[in-house]
Structure 1
Amino acid sequence: YSRFRFKLPPGPKPWPVLGNIYDIKPVRFRCFYEWAQVYGPILSFRLGSKLNVVVSNAELARQVLKEHDQNLADRHRSRSSARFSKDGKDLIWADYGPHYVKVRKACTLELFTQKRLEALRPIREDEVTAMIESIFKDSTNAGKIVSNFCNFAVVSSKLYV
């Protein structure tokens, strides 16, 4: 793990690469409650290399979510997802800010109106039908299903890590 320039909330010591993934008990809320008793109402832990912060006090959670919501609204973007999303210029991966507000407003006013959704309904229905037919056709070939699943898993892991 690299050294941070900012101070993190206390939390359990992570293992290299794995983080605290094996420290989390099956009943997660109880695990976080126990950690809050040891480390305080704000604690940090890692799932793999991802830093996570838990706020276990209602008043602190309100302050974080109401007063600092815009600081926390951005999504994590890996190098591969940044290239895929034109460095966050699309709606799904855009950081919260003027660009996101403008794109979302355009979608709300132009793309997601009832009239536009009804006009595009036949296209959506055709695509769903084609997808179901493709799945049914591939269901007779187990090797094809496994291959598609493996390809999807590899692509997903590269996009979202």
Structure 2
Amino acid sequence: WKRYRLPLGLRGLPIVGNLLDIGAVRFRCFSEWSKQYGPIMSMWFRSTLNVIVCSTELAKEVLKEHDQKLADRPRSRSAEKFCRNGQDLIWADYGPHYVKVRKVCTLELFTPKRLESLRAVREDEVTARVDSISRIKAQ
């Protein structure tokens, strides 16, 4: 742990990390562990290191002070296939490309007029999704 200067936390197993340590309600586990390790702790979910902040005040401070560092999302090989190597809006790393794509979406796609014009499409998609889930559940 000292090599990486990480907060205290549970040591994970190879491959699975701390997945076997987490109970049915993970937030209760985090709360219990914070009593032992403090309000900021590190743990491994599979092979990904995560830093958990269990204090509202600290979370606000961390998100305010380190927002640029925390804006990116971890990538997996399967996600890369579907997100055009991180170039779409949802998976893009924060930077010039993300700012440009978000600006286009804000100015062109998310205007009240455009949203209203696409309302029927959204309603049809939601209805189709609910019907699909209902059919799966009935089987």
Please state if 1:62 is matched with 2:60: yes
Structure 2 residue aligned with 1:92: 90
Moved more, 104-113 or 75-84: 75-84
The count of aligned residue pairs is 137
Residue 134 of structure 1 and its aligned partner are, at CA, apart by: 5.9
Structure 1 residue 60, shift from structure 2 partner:
3.4
Q: 1:86 to 1:8 in 2, by over 3 A?
A: same
Residues 54, 129 of structure 1: CA spacing in aligned structure 2 closer, same or farther, 3 A cutoff? closer
Query: Which deviates more, 73-82 or 48-57?
Result: 48-57
TM-superposed CA distance for 1:130, in Å, is 4.9
| Helix, strand or coil at the partner of 2:84 | coil
Q: CA deviation at 1:86?
A: 1.5
Distance 1:23 1:121 in 2: 44
* 1:39-58 map, 5 Å: 39-58=37-56
Aligned-pair Cα RMSD in Å: 2.9
**1:118 pairs with one of 116, 119, 128:** 116
For residue 12 of structure 2, the aligned residue among 2, 11, 14 is 14
Q: Which structure 2 residue ranges, 5 or more long, are not aligned?
A: none
* TM-score, with length taken from structure 2: 0.76
> What's 1:80 paired with?
78
Q: 2:69 aligns with which of 71, 74, 78?
A: 71
Cα shift readout 1:25-76 (whole Å, capped 9, x = no counterpart): 4454443343233323321112222322112345533331111111011111
State the secondary structure of the residue aligned to 1:52. Answer: strand
User: Whose radius of gyration is greater, 1 or 2?
Assistant: 1
**Which sections of structure 1, spanning at least 5 residues, go unmatched?**
143-161
Q: CA deviation at 1:6?
A: 3.2
TM-score by length of 1: 0.67
CA distance 1:23–1:113, shift in 2 (3 Å): same
- Please tell me the residue identity of whatever aligns with 1:76: P
- Cross-structure match for 2:32: 34
Cα offset for 1:95? 0.9
Equivalent pairs: percent with the same residue? 62
Distance 1:43 1:126, change over 3 A: closer
CA distance in 1, matches of 2:126, 2:58: 44
- In 2 relative to 1, CA 80–28 (structure 1 residues): closer, same or farther, beyond 3 Å? closer
